[in-house]
């Protein structure tokens, strides 16, 4: 029996592949490589000393996906594939709706056809919108503020409807807070194509000398130092959360959402300060105006994942900075090096 990972060559996908291989799973990856490189999977296999099956395949191409289901006995699917830039989703909403939602529908139809009803889905804390309370619990009202977030919300709703219509389905919706860091080997990490909008890849690019200065978006938030507060979570912790969720869906039925976060918030300035300390590099920054659409404070209540999955984050902000830096300094141009 195999586990299929859609989008398995990406940042979170590749780290999850590695954890699953190390746990002894047989894995199959389907990725169209639109925002990832096959090199990540080569390195995953090097680190683990184990091999995986890779298909360069697009979820929107139903015929291209079929052989995967014919050639492997798939037990469950971990579904990462999708577009993920908030900014791009505002400019190209139809592309986002089509890729993320139609892609998921095709995947689920293929799964149904082959009688596979176990799914772990990459959702996002972005669907809490401007949450009224922190720490954020899973039963907070959901609200998307941009097309990207709306695709995640709509897909969660689709899975809920599916689970009502067919109680044989077993689905875990994993709501990620702010994934960052890299594998401690420094061999795999985040390698965004195009423009960087997330803070850590931007920071490491400034530290490595490829970019000049970090713009800190907003110094007047109602937080201790005025900058935005987020729940940064190490990608290896996040990947392990997927292993736990997979173990749960394989043995149960029904649908549940889980926050994957540390439960601790750090401000942008605390992040920069920690990064400078850990990397030994100084990171020039300037405080500029707020970025439209940003919330002041977001961090998880991760209790449910601990109670029901037996998972909690173990790595701290120093680990995230040290590992992100090791990855970036060893691979200044990412996988293109």
Query: Residues with catalytic annotation?
Result: 148
The residue from 18, 57, 77, 216 that contacts ligand UD1 (CB under 6 A) is 216
Our finding on whether 189 is near ligand UD1 (CB under 6 A) is no
Per-residue tokens: 289: 């105006």
For the bound state, the minimum distance from the C-beta of residue 165 to ligand UD1, rounded and expressed in Å, comes to: 28
Please report how close the Cβ of residue 99 comes to ligand UD1 at its closest, in angstroms: 16
Phi, psi dihedrals of residue 172, rounded to the nearest 5°: -115, 125
Contact between 143 and ligand UD1 per CB under 6 A: no
Q: Are strands 266-267 and 229-230 parallel, antiparallel or unpaired?
A: antiparallel
Residues 45-74 that bind ligand UD1 (CB under 6 A): none
Question: Interface residues for ligand UD1 in 221-280 (CB under 6 A)?
Answer: 228, 230, 268
Give the range of 95-103, 214-222, 246-254, 326-334 binding ligand UD1 by CB under 6 A. 214-222
Q: Does 321 bind ligand UD1 (CB under 6 A)?
A: no
- Residue 205 contacts ligand UD1 per CB under 6 A: no
B/e letters for 276-308, b = 16+ CB within 10 Å, e = fewer, are bebbebebebebeeeeeeebbbbbbbbebbeee
- In DSSP terms, 230 is beta-bridged to 266, 298
Q: Assess 124 for contact with ligand UD1 (CB under 6 A).
A: yes
CA dihedral 197, 259, 240, 242 (to 10 degrees): -90
Among 82, 129, 147, 179, binds ligand UD1 (CB under 6 A): 179
| Smallest distance from ligand UD1 to CB 116, Å | 27
What's the min distance (Å) between Cβ of 211 and ligand UD1?
10
Cα angle at 247 between 12 and 157, to 5 degrees? Answer: 65
- Residues 41/17, Cβ–Cβ less than 8 Å: yes
Binding of ligand UD1 at residue 198 (CB under 6 A)? yes
H or E stretch covering 156: helix 147-165
What are the angstrom distances between the C-alpha of 93 and each of 174, 194, 267? 23, 18, 30
The verdict on 137 binding ligand UD1 (CB under 6 A) reads no
Three-state DSSP class for 116?
coil
Q: Is 291 in the site for ligand UD1 (CB under 6 A)?
A: yes
Rounded to whole angstroms, how far apart are CA atoms 322 and 328?
10
The residue range among 37-45, 91-99, 186-194, 195-203 that interacts with ligand UD1, by the rule CB under 6 A, is 195-203
Q: Which residue is nearest to ligand UD1 (CB)?
A: 228
Binding site for ligand UD1 (CB under 6 A): 86, 124, 126, 149, 178-179, 197-199, 202, 214-217, 228, 230, 268, 291, 293-294
């Amino acid at each position: 029996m195999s586990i299929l990972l859609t989008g398995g060559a990406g940042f979170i996908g590749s780290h999850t592949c590695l954890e699953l291989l190390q746990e002894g799973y047989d894995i199959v990856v389907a990725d169209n490589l639109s925002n990832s490189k096959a090199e990540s999977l080569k390195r995953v296999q090097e680190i683990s000393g184990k091999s995986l099956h890779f298909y360069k395949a697009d979820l929107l191409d139903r015929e291209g996906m079929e052989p995967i289901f014919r050639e492997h006995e798939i037990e469950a699917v971990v579904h990462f594939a999708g577009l993920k830039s908030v900014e791009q989703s505002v400019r190209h909403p139809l592309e986002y709706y089509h890729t993320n939602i139609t892609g998921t529908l095709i995947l689920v139809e293929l799964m149904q056809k082959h009688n596979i009803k176990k799914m772990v889905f990459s959702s996002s804390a972005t669907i809490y919108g401007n949450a009224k309370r922190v720490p954020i619990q899973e039963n907070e009202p959901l609200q998307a503020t941009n097309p990207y977030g709306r695709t995640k919300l709509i897909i969660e709703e689709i899975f809920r409807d599916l689970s009502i219509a067919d109680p044989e389905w077993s689905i875990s919706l994993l709501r990620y807070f702010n994934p960052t860091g890299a594998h401690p080997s420094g061999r795999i990490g985040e390698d965004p194509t195009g423009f960087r909008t997330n803070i850590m890849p931007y920071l490491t690019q400034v530290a490595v000398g490829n970019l000049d200065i970090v713009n800190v978006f907003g110094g007047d938030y109602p937080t201790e130092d005025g900058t935005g507060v987020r729940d940064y979570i190490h990608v290896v912790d996040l990947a392990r959360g997927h292993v736990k969720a997979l173990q749960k869906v394989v043995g149960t039925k029904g649908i549940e959402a889980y926050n994957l976060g540390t439960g601790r918030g750090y401000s942008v300035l605390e992040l920069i300060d920690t990064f400078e300390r850990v990397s030994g590099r100084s990171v020039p920054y300037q405080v500029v105006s707020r970025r439209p659409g940003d919330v002041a404070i977001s961090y998880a209540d991760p209790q449910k994942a601990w109670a029901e999955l037996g998972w909690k984050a173990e790595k701290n902000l120093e680990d995230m900075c040290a590992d992100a830096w090791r990855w970036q300094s060893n691979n200044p141009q990412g996988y293109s090096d």
